[in-house]
Structure 1
């Protein structure tokens, strides 16, 4: 779907809109627990220590993997989005919902007794920006609306 709203550099050599760089950063932000899980698995001996450092309560770790599922799915489908157009279009609302969950997650942990920290406060601010960007970026919206045949 080519449009006069975007520059020619916004399109790849197949004529599809390129996903913005900030989108990839947002996927990493949403899948941060998955990234930690992979890093802990790769570090073998210190993996349990690393997970214990970020998630002292193991139940919170397993639950916090859930909001990252749409991000992992979006990452996996991004290169083949023209083959799964319905699923690809459905991912944007799922990413918005997951970002909302992540935005509420940290304050909920604070209400449950976790101490307020600079990292937690930074995550809330970054999550708020990411939700705003997901909702308002016209290029990203067009990437998910794009109809390919």
Structure 2
């Protein structure tokens, strides 16, 4: 049953609540290492330079792929979320855990001696906003609800 707290335009033709546009941006933010990996693979000559620019320590690159796994899974499942409702519901918790890990990872890198930079500070602010939004968005919670319950 459709809720009265959302507009009719918030629903698709099958009566399912559409995922908010900001959700896709947060998926990209969480999967930023994956995006960089794909970009480096697409530009063969500059790929190594691109990876060294953002991840001079290659161990951090491989660790950076881990928090992006729930975002990649959410992206792949989003079109078929009605077929896997329990799995879809669990993705929300994984996205929150991954976002918390990303939020804590940047200060940990600074504590280990990485220089403070504008990019790092911007990512920290964006990660904080993303975590707040994942926890507080009523529409997003409704999108992850199974049979109307969360």
TM-score scaled to structure 2, two decimals?
A: 0.97
1:94 Cα deviation (Å)? Answer: 0.3
Instruction: Note the residue ranges of structure 2 that are not aligned, 5 or more in a row.
Output: none
Aligned counterparts of 2:38 and 2:82: Cα–Cα separation in 1: 28
SS in 2 for 1:114: coil
Q: CA deviation at 1:45?
A: 1.1
Which residue in the other structure is 1:94 paired with? 94
Task: State the match for 2:57 in structure 1.
Answer: 57
Question: In the alignment, which residue of structure 2 is the partner of 1:129?
Answer: 129
* Partner in structure 1 of residue 115 of structure 2: 115
- Give matches, 1:1-149, under 5 Å: 1-147=1-147
| Matched length | 148
**Deviation string, structure 1 residues 18-53 (Cα, Å, up to 9, x no partner):** 000000000000000000000000001111110011
Give the gaps of 5 or more residues in structure 1.
none
1-side partners of 2:54 and 2:15: how far apart?
Answer: 42
Over residues 115-143 of structure 1, what are the superposed CA-to-partner deviations in whole Å (9 max), with x where a residue is unaligned? Answer: 00011001101100000000000000000
Q: TM-score by structure 1 length?
A: 0.97
* Superposition RMSD in Å: 1.0
Q: C-alpha separation between the residues in 1 aligned to 2:130 and 2:97?
A: 12
How much does 1:89 deviate?
0.2
